[in-house]
Structure 1
Amino acid sequence: MASAPSSDDLFDEFLEDNGHETEIERWERSYNKKQCPDCGGLHDESATECGVCGWHPAA
């Protein structure tokens, strides 16, 4: 028997259908540095928040 999709799955599908991203944003990598996905600022591997724009990954 198939299970019904969760309300979170339905909400994500609605957002995606209407042009919104639902992926969890994470640090990008540039050589041996972390790169902010919002502003492109480069940080050491130990960074937990962007020192340029204040972005931080969702917990």
Structure 2
Amino acid sequence: MATADTSDDAVLDQFLENNGHTTAAWDRSYNKKQCPECGGIHDVDAMRCSVCGWSP
């Protein structure tokens, strides 16, 4: 049986990106959100990074 080199999530993310959707999301660090762009740590209710301005 053959196995795929990428996970199902990676395939779905690639499909969404190819069709104009963004798949970036907040990372999690313990009980906080972490910005995937600059690594800034924020409360879980944050909607925009106060360090670099990134938002999902």
Return the TM-score normalized by structure 2: 0.62
Identity across the alignment (%) = 55
Considering only aligned residues, what root-mean-square deviation do their CA atoms show, in Å?
2.3
Which residue pairs with 2:46 in the alignment? 47
CA distance in 2, matches of 1:26, 1:44: 15
Which residue pairs with 1:24 in the alignment? 23
Aligned pairs, number: 40
CA distance in 2, matches of 1:42, 1:56: 13
Is 1:33 matched with 2:32? yes
What residue ranges of structure 1 are gaps of 5+ in the alignment?
1-8, 14-21
Q: Which runs of 4+ in 1 moved over 2 A?
A: none
What residue ranges of structure 2 are gaps of 5+ in the alignment?
1-14
Return the TM-score normalized by structure 1: 0.59
